[in-house]
Structure 1
Amino acid sequence: MTIQIHFLPDDITVSAEVGEPMLQVAQRAGIFIPTGCLMGSCHACEVELDGKTPICACITVVPAGKKELTINLYSDPIW
């Protein structure tokens, strides 16, 4: 199943497969998401899913059950 992923604030949309790693989708779209530990504990890769839920992109895959998702990238001045 293919899902449309819309990255903000860059306003880039890309198709992704359910189960595809979120970092891989972002990279394919030309979006840089900073990473640290790649295990979800440092939160360097934290993004916002559909305007409300923070997720760690390094341990998240494209979920099933939706036709589109919005990923809001925000920058942490510490990273």
Structure 2
Amino acid sequence: MANVVVEFTNSKKTVNAVVGSPLSQLCAKNGIKVKYSCKQGDCATCSINIDGRNVKACQGRVPASRRIVKIKA
């Protein structure tokens, strides 16, 4: 499995992550607070910004789009 560097821009924390792993788990594991409501992808309460586009943390996965993924959460 490939790894990417994930930079949480709000907390200035940088971690390594496995491509395709759940964003909700990555955030929780690294102490990044994400607001949730339904946890099924219906309400978009958990939307976070990844490389300039909004993604639902409860449904999203770590992308393989580049070597450094920037998450604003």
TM-score above 0.5: yes
Check whether the contact 1:13–1:29 (CA below 8 A) recurs between aligned residues.
no
Provide runs of 4+ in structure 1 moved above 2 Å: none
Distance 2:35 2:50 in 1: 16
Kindly report which structure 2 residues correspond to 1:1-79, keeping only aligned pairs within 5 A, or say none: 1-50=2-51, 52-73=52-73
Check whether the contact 1:34–1:45 (CA below 8 A) recurs between aligned residues.
yes
TM-score, normalized by length of structure 1?
A: 0.83
Distance 2:50 2:11 in 1: 15
Aligned length: 72
TM-score, normalized by length of structure 2?
A: 0.89
Shift of 1:65: 3.6
| Unaligned residue ranges in structure 2 (runs of 5+) | none
Check whether the contact 2:63–2:69 (CA below 8 A) recurs between aligned residues.
no
Q: CA RMSD in A?
A: 1.1
Percent of aligned pairs sharing the same letter: 29
Distance 2:57 2:41 in 1: 8
Distance 2:59 2:53 in 1: 14
| Unaligned residue ranges in structure 1 (runs of 5+) | 74-79
